[in-house]
Amino acid sequence: MKKILLATTVLAATAGVAAAEVAVTGAVRMGVTNQISATNLATNQKVEFTSRVRIGFAASGETDSGLSFGASVRNDQSGVGNTANGDSTVFISGAFGKIAMGDVSGAPDALVGQVSSVGLTGLGSLNEIGNLGNTKTAALYTYSAGALSFGLGLGQPTGADKAISVAAKYSTDMYTVALGYEDTTAQKRTSLKGSTTFSGVTLAAKYVSNNVLTAGQTKKTAYALSADYAMNGVNMTAFFSSGAGYRATNFDGVEAFGVGAAYDLGGGATVKGGIAKANDGSKAVFDLGVAMSF
């Protein structure tokens, strides 16, 4: 009798979710690098093996009225999750747009983005200009109508980080322009990025301005440029940045550059390698290996 009740309960619980789907994806890599520390490039001393396994689970469904909903969670080789929502998101979407919570980006991070990186591992993210308010449990609203997209991000309403951010992006086949604004209790930041693609070449430029100098900053502005060229399965990338990089929110005027290349092997496997250098006395970092997605 217990088995019959259990089977009846399972059937009743799943009868209304026939449209639900669960997808499993993976992003893994293996290779060599001299980037021993991701945040202190001066410690780089020798070549070491590097590898990472990242498996993603995404579930989605739809209500009787046509609303879409779902969730995603990531499993890395270093752990299976945490209570700070550093690896999971939940969303609901419809004609009104999309509302997501959890490990979501702020509006500028989602719509403005960064210029291109190089290498297998990102090589210290020297191409990036850090965003504000990166709380792991946050909310993000996005809406798109044709070529125009809009975003509104909110950090936790309590605690030290009460970040609010807005962004807008206009994108066509030839070019993209995006503008973002972030506001925390400590500072305000405006970011502008544009990119264009022609004859296999993609050029991108980003400019960011702070309203104040915070601890560790020597400049109120930072910028980054990148160029990509794709031909016959080969993609070559170069970037230059000033005041950006692994120092996250601090604009200290340090300049950096990087070059890299990737070759598509097909089937989700790509050979990647790059070299990057900051003019702060640290050593150049490099990597080479294979990235695989499935």
pTM: 0.83
* Enclosing domain of residue 30: 19-293
Higher pLDDT, 14 or 227: 227
- Choose the most confident range, by mean pLDDT, from 4-13, 32-41, 46-55, 260-269: 260-269
Asked if residue 139 is part of any domain, the answer here is yes
Name the residue with tokens 């009846």.
Answer: 8
pLDDT of residue 279: 85
Residue 78: per-residue pLDDT: 57
- The whole-number pLDDT of residue 250 equals 58
pLDDT tens per residue, range 253-263:
788 999 999 99
Q: What are 204-232's pLDDT values in tens digits?
A: 999 998 877 665 566 688 899 999 999 99
Q: What is the pLDDT of residue 30?
A: 95
2 part of a folded domain: no
Q: Is 10 inside a domain boundary?
A: no
Helices and strands: H and E segment counts in the chain: 2, 16
In a domain, 6, yes or no: no
Q: Is residue 251 part of a domain?
A: yes
Q: What is the DSSP string of 180-241?
A: EEEE-SS-EEEEEEEEEEETTEEEEEEEEEESS--TT-S-SEEEEEEEEEEETTEEEEEEEE
CATH number, position 114: 2.40.160.10
Nearest to 21 by CA among 73, 71, 91, 64: 71
Q: How many domains does one find in the chain?
A: 1
In a domain, 13, yes or no: no
pLDDT tens-digit series, residues 91-143: 999 999 999 998 888 899 999 999 999 999 988 888 988 887 655 678 999 99
CA-nearest of 163, 172, 152 to 97 is: 152
Residue 43, SS3 per DSSP: helix
Bridge partners of residue 31, in order along the sequence: 50, 289
pLDDT score, position 202: 97
